[in-house]
Structure 1
Amino acid sequence: ANLLPNGNLLFYTSAPSEPGPMTGIGGHSGGLVELDWDGNLVWQLENPWLHHDFQRLPNGNTLALMWEEMSSDTTFRVNGGFTTAEDPVHMLGDVVREFNPKGEVVHEWKSWEHLSFDEDIICPLEGRREWTHGNSINVTPEGNYLVSFRQTSTVGLVDRENGRFTWKWGPGEVSHQHNPSFLDNGHVLIFDNGSHRRAPNTNYSRIVEIDPANNDITWDYRGEPPISFYSYQISGAERQPNGNTLICEGATGRFIEVTPGHQIVWEYINPLMADSGRLAGGSISGRANAVFRAHRFAADDPALEGRDLDPTRYANLNRILGVS
């Protein structure tokens, strides 16, 4: 969910109940909904091909990640992944579409038209229902796209006007990453999940800040020992105005704030448990406190101006959760 500058909440709904080629894939949604502070419906977009991420643009349009079935020829030429008897003739490819307030498509970018069959190879431990599994879409100050493809462990900058990659990085460096964000210094901050990390490394997560100009990693954060900080899926990181980094260790529902010197100065664990299937990580109860992503808002943020933020309104809920 995204809290908009006007205080409205923009979020994805649950996956549609009707079966389709994307049924069961993580991040699937059936629609986008915008509610005002009082819960009134402001805007919605229903589409069963939506997934993972979206952004409200300054012009009022909405950018969204979507799937589309690729041709059988393109599917045949995609390399990597393990095969099964149920593999589709038409793999799913990622599309970035921009919708105006009327729900009309005003711009689109089809990833497979700009990917390389020789370079963009699916991890051998992942299936072949989709080529890239986009899990994040962000917009640079110039209006270009910053994308993340989990299946191929790739982060890239895309020129919105011509659709070409101006920078692409990741395979062999990160593994099944999430939530790249563009920093004020021109660097990119990434949550490197680290699942299926290449030997001799064990699976562990880390945060990396990379300079696209030379592919140098200028800062990173990892646990000590490394396995003490690990989320095999979802998750994110966000650079704060004070230079610290807010980290969402998604699978465990853990949030931490770390300094540039790697000191943890704040920590919180989500107390809310929910039925979550594959996110439960094999828990006996089938429930988990997993969180896809986290954002921090200052008390003087425009979205919160004039809002009643008195925690005593939720005293009973906070008491039940043990955070009173």
Structure 2
Amino acid sequence: MGWSLHHPHGLVYHAPQYCHRGYTLFANLRGFDANLIDMEGRICHRWHWPGGINYANLLPNGNLLFMSLAPDEKLPMTGIGGHTGGLVELDWDGNPVWELENPWMHHDFQRLDNGNTLALVWEEMSSDMTFRVKGGFATAEDPVQMLGDVVREFTPSGEVVHEWKSWEHLDFDADVICPLEGRREWTHGNSINVTADGDYLVSFRQTSTVGIVDRESGRFTWKWGPGEVSHQHNPSFLDNGRVLLFDNGSHRRAPNTNYSRIVEIDPANNDIAWDYRGEPAISFYSYQISGAERQPNGNTLICEGATGRFIEVTSGHQIVWEYINPLFADSGRLAGGSSSGRANSVFRAHRFSPDDPALAGRDLDPAKYGNLNRILGTG
């Protein structure tokens, strides 16, 4: 979606009788703060971290778990989207309670019920395997060892107790890199989730693939996407057994134009049970990042990431809440920024019900941030 400098920001629209009421958490891509806003778009709580906050989520105890900014040192993944410095956990008041530095981590994580943390990690593949990967465009700077995606489970002390190396279970003929993408990495994993059975739900942007991986055997039990979605993000497993995801739509195959949509796919038969797209289609578009989250009332919270726009839509495709992030950070031009690199881009957003355990007994009075809310036009 595009707009001029005169386009409204903050809360744009709110039909409370149709919304799932709650508090929405987001952080500017490559910013230093995570914000919790109410349905009126007012900041009710925020966390700050000098090492930066790329993407954050709330834990049931009210702590904030997030990926920090990437280090300045030159590494094989430097400059690739999603690069971070590792994981940090802050308590409600912003005090650090846990940190795991690892510049090979990227994009996504999940805290498990056993207290361990699942994260996406890059690892260099062998030169022989790199040579066998198909697709992408070649440059003189291409590495001899391409980066591959690994899912690792870390204990609180940082010990790795389980890992899944994607390239050991991929198909050189089927898992082909988009011809408009480079060859620094094979798959560019951008999401990791755990199903009710403990298996992994993964998303690979480079190959436009989502899949469910059996945790014990490492084999894919379901894999879908090429030709159907394009450079998707944030698949999540729904209670009805389907998978919800953000289909970014960049590099979509002709004769289709580039547009984004939300897709609810049934892994049992690969039928698309529901989707959402803009009207006209180009009015809803984020060529990278972004996400979608099903709400308890059946609505879907959507983060149109590159433009910093959040909308809540009903199953009948009606927008009942719209908010445009008024905060900017040095996210870079590729994340939707201006020529200066400043952008309001957001990797993903989450909404928490007022009775969520993470918010129990918390002070969520927006008056604490009255001056900031007034400056942002939401006070």
In the superposition, the TM-score normalised over structure 2's length comes to 0.85
CA contact 1:257–1:266 (8 Å) conserved in 2: yes
Q: Which residue of 2 aligns with 1:20?
A: 75
CA contact 2:331–2:337 (8 Å) conserved in 1: no
Note the C-alpha offset of 1:84: 0.4
Note the C-alpha offset of 1:64: 0.3
Note the C-alpha offset of 1:183: 0.2
1:236 aligned onto 2:236: no
Q: Which residue of 2 aligns with 1:255?
A: 310
How far apart, in 2, do the equivalents of 1:164 and 1:144 lie? 10
* Counterpart code for 2:126: S
CA contact 1:158–1:164 (8 Å) conserved in 2: yes
After superposition, where does 1:37-48 map in structure 2 within 5 Å? 37-48=92-103
1:317 aligned onto 2:348: no
Q: Which residue of 1 aligns with 2:258?
A: 203
Q: Which residue of 2 aligns with 1:127?
A: 182
1:164 aligned onto 2:219: yes
Q: Which residue of 1 aligns with 2:233?
A: 178
Structure 2, unaligned runs of 5 or more: 1-55
Deviations along 1:278-324, one digit per CA (max 9) or x if unpaired, are 34536233211001000000111100101110110000000000001
86, 99, 102: which one aligns with 2:157: 102
* Counterpart code for 2:342: R
CA contact 2:231–2:288 (8 Å) conserved in 1: yes
How far apart, in 1, do the equivalents of 2:248 and 2:108 lie? 17
How far apart, in 1, do the equivalents of 2:199 and 2:337 lie? 39
CA contact 1:280–1:287 (8 Å) conserved in 2: no
How far apart, in 2, do the equivalents of 1:284 and 1:69 lie? 33
How far apart, in 1, do the equivalents of 2:131 and 2:86 lie? 30
In the superposition, the TM-score normalised over structure 1's length comes to 0.99
Off by >6 Å, runs of 4+ in structure 1: none
Deviations along 1:81-135, one digit per CA (max 9) or x if unpaired, are 0000111100000000000111100000000000000000000000000000000
CA contact 2:336–2:345 (8 Å) conserved in 1: no
344, 347, 362: which one aligns with 1:292: 347
How far apart, in 1, do the equivalents of 2:253 and 2:86 lie? 36
CA contact 1:279–1:288 (8 Å) conserved in 2: no
How far apart, in 2, do the equivalents of 1:124 and 1:189 lie? 26
CA contact 2:123–2:149 (8 Å) conserved in 1: yes
How far apart, in 1, do the equivalents of 2:114 and 2:121 lie? 20
Q: Which residue of 2 aligns with 1:277?
A: 332
CA contact 2:288–2:335 (8 Å) conserved in 1: no
Deviates more, 1:38-47 or 1:217-226: 38-47
Note the C-alpha offset of 1:271: 0.4
269, 273, 277: which one aligns with 1:214: 269
How far apart, in 1, do the equivalents of 2:191 and 2:235 lie? 7
- Aligned to 1:123, the other structure's residue is in SS state coil
169, 188, 191: which one aligns with 1:136: 191
CA contact 1:63–1:97 (8 Å) conserved in 2: yes
How far apart, in 2, do the equivalents of 1:280 and 1:32 lie? 21
Q: Which has the higher contact order (CA 8 A, sep 6+)?
A: 2
How far apart, in 2, do the equivalents of 1:23 and 1:186 lie? 37
1:189 aligned onto 2:247: no
Instruction: Report the count of equivalent residues.
Output: 324
How far apart, in 2, do the equivalents of 1:148 and 1:308 lie? 36
* Counterpart code for 1:51: H
How far apart, in 1, do the equivalents of 2:262 and 2:138 lie? 32
- Aligned to 2:130, the other structure's residue is in SS state helix
CA change 1:219–1:57 in 2 (3 A) is same
CA contact 2:337–2:345 (8 Å) conserved in 1: no
